[in-house]
């Protein structure tokens, strides 16, 4: 028992670090890559930490139109994401909770966060925020089937309904008949990842033109600590959804800490890839976005079909 205690504690510490401290680094990394690609020096990698610290000291402003729902958005979203982060394996380390069917809970917790964010946006009574909310829910209705087709394909390949065996099935990448489906799943999920995290080419996190925004327009009226929560929640979502993409690709290493390091490396690499995509691609016109998402659905659906033969 004492021998098992130390690795468990280390695993806990590792998870706490990844979930609570690491996330704000990822957007900073993406921004840095974009700045380098554009030939600028850009803001420091730790910029989001500074922002969060500043916002945490500031007082929040609440419109007289809003009710408690306005606050439930940021708090509930972060709470839902934190619970979801308990379910997801980080590389080849064990998650805190795993049971048959946790994939469904995972997907619905993401849905819960979205529901509360949208309500919080509608609570301001502003037309812009309502517009962003409408876009968010309609695009996510297309992202959801892509996510579930991917889960279905992995469930069929691994015979399990739990995220941990699904994502940690090492050797899938090299097994000939599974590598094709896995590539398709990752392509579909990559599109979901970009859409859910409101990255280019679906949405531009840096835009300041309300007419073209999706996610950012919903949080315009938040300030102070609620805004800090929203920013932290967005970066946490990058890590949680990023783990879906990174986990199946990681090799199994002999030591626990090596697996942890491999995960950190994978997430860092994902941030670099996202930065490169954002530097080279332009944002789609709004009517192109559904086509992009349908491509994601089709990719995951084909992955499932390939597994049938």
Interface contacts to other proteins, rule CB under 8 A = 57-62, 64-65, 67-69, 71, 75-76, 78-80, 82-83, 86-87, 97, 99-105, 107-109, 111-112, 114-115, 118-119, 122-125, 130, 133-134, 137-138, 140-145, 147-149, 151-152, 155-156, 159-161, 225, 229, 301, 304, 308
Which residue, 11 or 140, has its beta carbon nearer to other proteins? 140
Place of tokens 């380390």: 93
Residue 64 CB, nearest approach to other proteins (Å): 4
* Neighbouring residues of 30: CB distance < 8 A, sequence distance ≥ 6: 271, 274, 275, 278
Which residue, 160 or 279, has its beta carbon nearer to other proteins? 160
Place of tokens 């380098």: 36
Which residue, 32 or 222, has its beta carbon nearer to other proteins? 222
Residue 186: helix, strand or coil by DSSP? Answer: helix
131 token code pair: 């517009």
Residue 284 CB, nearest approach to other proteins (Å): 20
Residue 302 CB, nearest approach to other proteins (Å): 12
Distance CA 126, CA 116 (A): 16
225 token code pair: 């600590």
Element containing residue 268 per DSSP (H, E) = helix 256-280
Which residue, 119 or 249, has its beta carbon nearer to other proteins? 119
Which residue, 74 or 256, has its beta carbon nearer to other proteins? 74
Residue 148 CB, nearest approach to other proteins (Å): 4
Q: Are 202 and 284 in contact (CB under 8 A)?
A: yes
Distance CA 225, CA 57 (A): 8
Residue 103 CB, nearest approach to other proteins (Å): 8
Residue 7 CB, nearest approach to other proteins (Å): 22
Measured from the Cβ of residue 104, the count of other Cβ atoms closer than 10 Å reads: 12
Distance CA 119, CA 116 (A): 5
Which residue, 258 or 295, has its beta carbon nearer to other proteins? 295
């Amino acid at each position: 028992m004492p021998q098992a205690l130390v690795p468990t504690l280390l695993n806990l510490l590792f998870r706490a670090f990844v979930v609570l401290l690491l996330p704000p680094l990822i957007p900073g990394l993406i921004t840095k890559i974009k700045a380098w690609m554009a030939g600028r020096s850009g803001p420091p990698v730790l910029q989001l930490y500074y922002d969060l610290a500043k916002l945490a000291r500031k007082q929040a402003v609440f419109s007289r139109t809003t009710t408690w729902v306005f606050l439930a958005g940021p708090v509930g979203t972060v709470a839902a994401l934190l619970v979801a982060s308990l379910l997801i394996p980080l590389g080849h380390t064990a998650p805190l909770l795993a049971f048959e069917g946790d994939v469904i809970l995972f997907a619905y917790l993401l849905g819960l966060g979205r529901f509360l964010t949208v309500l919080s946006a509608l609570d301001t009574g502003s037309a812009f925020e309502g517009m962003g909310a409408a876009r968010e829910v309609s695009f996510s209705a297309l992202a959801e089937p892509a996510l579930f087709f991917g889960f279905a394909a992995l469930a069929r390949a691994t015979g399990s309904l739990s995220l941990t065996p699904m994502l940690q099935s090492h050797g899938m990448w090299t097994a000939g008949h599974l590598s094709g489906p896995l590539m398709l799943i990752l392509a579909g999920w990559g599109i979901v990842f970009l859409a859910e995290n409101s990255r280019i080419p679906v949405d531009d996190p840096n835009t300041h033109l309300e007419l073209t925004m999706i996610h950012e327009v919903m949080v315009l009226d938040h300030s102070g600590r609620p805004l800090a929560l929203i920013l932290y929640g967005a970066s946490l979502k990058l890590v949680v959804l990023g783990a879906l993409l990174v986990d199946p690709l990681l090799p199994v290493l002999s030591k626990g800490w090596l697996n942890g390091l491999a995960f950190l490396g994978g997430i860092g690499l994902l941030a670099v890839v996202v930065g490169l995509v954002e530097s080279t691609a332009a944002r789609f016109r709004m009517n192109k976005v559904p086509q992009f998402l349908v491509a994601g659905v089709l990719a995951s659906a084909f992955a499932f079909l390939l597994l049938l033969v």
